[in-house]
Amino acid sequence: MKKLLTGNEAIARGFYEAGGKVASAYPGTPSTEILENISRYKDELYCEWAPNEKVAVETCIGASMAGARALAAMKHVGLNVAADPMFTFAYTGVNGGYVLVSADDPYMHSSQNEQDNRHYARAMKICMFEPSDSQEAKDMTMKAFEISEKYDLPVMLRTTTRVCHSKSLVEIGERVLPEMRPYVKNRMKYDAIPAISRLLHTKVEKRAKALAEYSESCEFNYAIDNGAKIGVVASGIAFQYAREAFGDSANYFKVGFSYPLPIESIRKFASSLDTLYVVEELDPFMEDQLKAAGIPCIGKKKLPIEGEFNPTLVRECLLGEKVEHLDVKTPLVGRAPTLCAGCPHRGMVLELGKVKDLIISGDIGCYALGGGEPYNAKDCTICMGASISMAHGMNKAFEQYGKDRKVVSIIGDSTFFHTGIVSLEGLVYNKGKALTIILDNRITGMTGHQDNPGSGYTLMGEPTADISIEAIVRAFGVKNIKVVNPLDLKECREALKWGFAQEETAVIITRYPCALKKYTQQDIDEFGKLSKCTVDQSKCIGCQACVRTGCPAILFDRKTNLANIDSIQCTGCEICKQVCAVGAIGK
Amino acid sequence: MDKVTSILLVGVGGQGTILASKLFSEAMAEEGFDVKMSEIHGMSQRGGGVSTQIRYGKKVYSPIIGEGCADILVSMETAESARWLNYLKPDAKLIISDYRIYPPEVLSGREEYPQTTIEDLSKVADVTVVHAEKLALEAGSAKCMNIVLLGALVKGLGLENSVDWNGIIEKTVKPAFIEMNKKAFRLGVEAVS
Ligand SMILES: Cc1ncc(C[n+]2csc(CCOP(=O)(O)OP(=O)(O)O)c2C)c(N)n1
């Protein structure tokens, strides 16, 4: 039976069919749905959200060592967080098969950078598959488990947004559950201390040779001969673009097992050609290796190193064809993402934006949308958890030069549990004075509402301990803590004033559920229900103070010069009511 | 049959663009076509645009199209149609809903909502305007605007009789909403000549 599946659904299916038993991940676009789909098989396996990618990878290492097939999934930048355990796990190798999914995001549809994680496979000296559609995503996931156990190493499955989020037809199979592999204590394999690791490194180099040989015969690396004089080497989604652009006018070498590269097979493929193109998104990963092996080819000289490809782009860059399109001039309107109606981040972000000469160190999450108009509540973002440590570093630098600058960090609950927690540990330990604001909306919002260590539920839907952020901060020894309701602007404003006045480390925690969150019983008990706001138009003076809250539920009619509230979008948060000077907004 | 048909369905988060695309793609797969569908919904929940691309034919390689490749555009929101024009073939069909969703840029008075989209496009392209909200309300609820436009898309491609659409709606939609969606679909089909 064939089904239309996204790449992520297909990876989940592949894990299930291959007898996978333990999966762990931290959400991140475009990888999030892998674990969400694995959780549909929860009666037959175990899966979880880890607090961050390093923990996910390590949990799966444990499961593999114990003898089960395990899979860890993450977005590209997640692998930076998880790189430490992965580099050494590459030395020890596995017991049960291990698949690491790295989902890259060319064009940065929803990411902070565009790094090409294929370099990691090479740097870690492990091997890598790159699917180009959903069928391959499933097949390669299953094959990766086999290769992992055969060659004794973790195997990377590298996807990109378009593979993860595109649907194509997949043949559905049965789950085959292998016996658990016996756990045998073996320090010479699993205890990475210098004396043992030196021996393991020798093993790794030997393994690399065996993998290079395997690559030459791997069924996912193959040539398509159309009797042409132009040849294309391509991997991942770029293969589909090239195939569409060149049709039957080129020969193809489809690279599915892309590290180590099947160099000799490509050399042979290239030998009868006049021109060899390498079509790969982002870095010249294959191109550089082919050139180093003395195989002349053209890649980044003609194709961009930035962003995504598509068939038209390949056609224009390599075939020099100009593709005509509908040509009409008509005005466009902006539609940038904004904080939702009723977003509990709005209150604090609005108040932060009003503070003069404040440096706001931002983090990754919905509150990042507070950087733009009308909030202007952010100076910088680097990566998850960095807001607190960066604010700390700024504060210390200003102190060194005797400058009195106010610095705050803002960070979400999921991001706090991810790595913000250790940043705060560092700040407290080092007597940091930058103010920390933790925006707890009781869920991981940005990536689509995944539970986290503070939300009270597991990925498998079971109630669990909800870890109190306030208790953690207190346990660190912070004495100055304020928990505020972010729907109350005055409370936010006063908390900020209080925070800036403290001589020692201070932390503000806002606590209110995401406006899009499905309330748990605990949420209902704690926060209750809100009723919607309305505008009494006889009182409205058209001053637009409500409009400047940035709430998308507020409609301003420029003909009548009056505000109105969209009753479908309004959640009743009352932020607009609080800024209305004439009392025109009520319930 | 060898030809690959490329469809671009666009709208704003929450309009049901992805559901309509899914229904269509699954129907095409059942008809024995190769189908690929790609969606970008990055921040759609936060008011951003949503676009899905569907491609079907005997054999489909790329799940996405580049500039100048779409045969048909269905826009669930009027001004959103303008964002995708470069992706359309010069002779593409455009099916545009006259339903408007004002973005924050307009609500806050920073930008003007474009008034001339349909007029500008109609001058040079093959445009059908669908009164999706009106038809959806006639069918029973504004919520089935996406199914009205699915009907319009199906008619635009001339597939209204070759597929058992009612059967597909019966299989995918909750029992209580089947009749309403069938009617919405039919009104969408009739809206395109
Ligand atoms: C290392 C890393 N992992 C995952 C992500 C993806 N990501 C971006 S924002 C976010 C969630 C933020 O949740 P939270 O801090 O609770 O803020 P909210 O969006 O709920 O406001 C995630 C998981 C990332 N950018 N970097």
A331:B67 CB<8 A? no
Tell me what pLDDT residue B1 has: 44
Looking at the complex, report in whole angstroms how far the Cα of residue A408 sits from the nearest Cα belonging to chain B.
25
* B92 Cα to chain A: minimum distance (Å): 8
What is the predicted pLDDT for the residue at B42?
59
- Kindly indicate the confidence band of residue A464, based on its pLDDT and cuts at 50, 70 and 90: very high
Task: Tell me what pLDDT residue B172 has.
Answer: 87
Nearest chain B Cα distance for residue A224, angstroms:
14
From A363, A503, A352, select the one nearest A421 (Cα to Cα).
A363
pLDDT at residue A390 tops 50: yes
What ligand 1 atom has the least distance to the C-alpha of A111?
Answer: 25
Q: What is the pLDDT of residue B44?
A: 54
Average pLDDT (A288-317) is 98
pLDDT digits 0-9 by tens, B77-103: 999 999 999 999 999 999 999 999 988
Q: Determine contact, residues A7/A137, Cβ cutoff 8 Å.
A: yes
Q: Provide the pLDDT for residue A176.
A: 97
More confident residue, A169 or B40: A169
Question: Is A319's Cβ below 8 Å from some Cβ in B?
Answer: no
Q: How far is the CA of A29 from the centre of ligand 1 (A)?
A: 9
Do you find a cis peptide bond into A260, omega within 30 degrees of 0?
Answer: yes
**Is any atom of ligand 1 closer than 6 Å to the C-beta of A365?**
yes
Ligand 1 atom closest to the Cα of residue A363 is 15
A422 C-alpha vs ligand 1 centroid, how far in Å? 16
Average pLDDT score over residue span A484-496: 98
For ligand 1, the distance from its centroid to the CA atom of residue B46, given in whole angstroms, is 15
Mean pLDDT of chain A: 97
Q: Which residues of A touch B29 (CB under 8 A)?
A: 2, 4, 169
Going by pLDDT thresholds of 50, 70 and 90, the confidence category of residue B104 is confident
Strand partners, B11: B50
**In the predicted model, is pLDDT for residue B2 greater than 80?**
no
Interface contacts (A, B; CB < 8 Å): 184
Cβ–Cβ gap B85/A330 under 8 Å = yes
Partner-chain contact A333 B112, CB within 8 Å:
yes
Nearest to A10, CA basis, from A132, A95, A100: A132
pLDDT in tens, A57-94: 999 999 999 999 999 999 999 999 999 999 999 999 99
Q: Apex CA A6: angle with CA A279 and CA B184, to 5°?
A: 120
- Ligand 1 contacts CB of residue A410 (under 6 A): no
- CA gap A108, A161 in Å, rounded: 9
B104 contacts in chain A (CB < 8 Å) = 336, 338, 550, 552
* pLDDT at residue number A331: 95
Residue A450 DSSP one-character state: B
* Test mutation, B59, B61, B88, chain A, max A CBs within 10 A: B61
Contact A337 B117 (CB under 8 A): no
Whether the Cβ atoms of residue A516 and residue A445 lie closer than 8 Å to each other: yes
| Structural domains of chain A in order of their starting residue, each with its CATH number | 2-217 (3.40.50.970), 221-319 (3.40.50.920), 346-527 (3.40.50.970), 534-586 (3.30.70.20)
In this complex, which of A313, A333, A448 lies closest to B103 when CB atoms are compared? A333
> Are A317 and A302 a contacting pair, CB within 8 Å?
yes
433-462 of A, contacting B, C-beta below 8 A: 448
- Shortest Cα distance, chain A CAs vs residue B188, angstroms: 25
Output the CA A444–ligand 1 centroid distance in Å: 7
CA distance A167 to A13: 14
ipTM of the complex: 0.94
> What is the arithmetic mean of pLDDT over A311-337?
94
Q: What does pLDDT average to over chain B?
A: 93
pLDDT tens digits for B41-78?
A: 655 566 678 899 999 999 999 999 999 999 999 999 99
CB contact (8 A) between residue A544 and residue B46: no
Task: Record the pTM.
Answer: 0.97
- Overall average pLDDT of the A270-294 stretch: 98
Class of domain B5-190: alpha beta
For A392-417, b/e burial (b = at least 16 CB within 10 A) is bbbbbebeeeeeeebbbbbbbbbbbb
CA-based nearest residue to A41, from A62, A20, A71: A20
Which pLDDT belongs to residue B108?
74
Name the closest-CA residue to atom 4, ligand 1: A28
- pLDDT score recorded for residue A373: 86
Which stretch of DSSP H or E encloses residue A18?
none
H or E segment and range at residue A263: helix A263-271
pLDDT for res A336: 84
CA dist B178 and B139 (Å) reads: 11
On whether any CB of chain B is under 8 Å from the CB of A556, the answer is yes
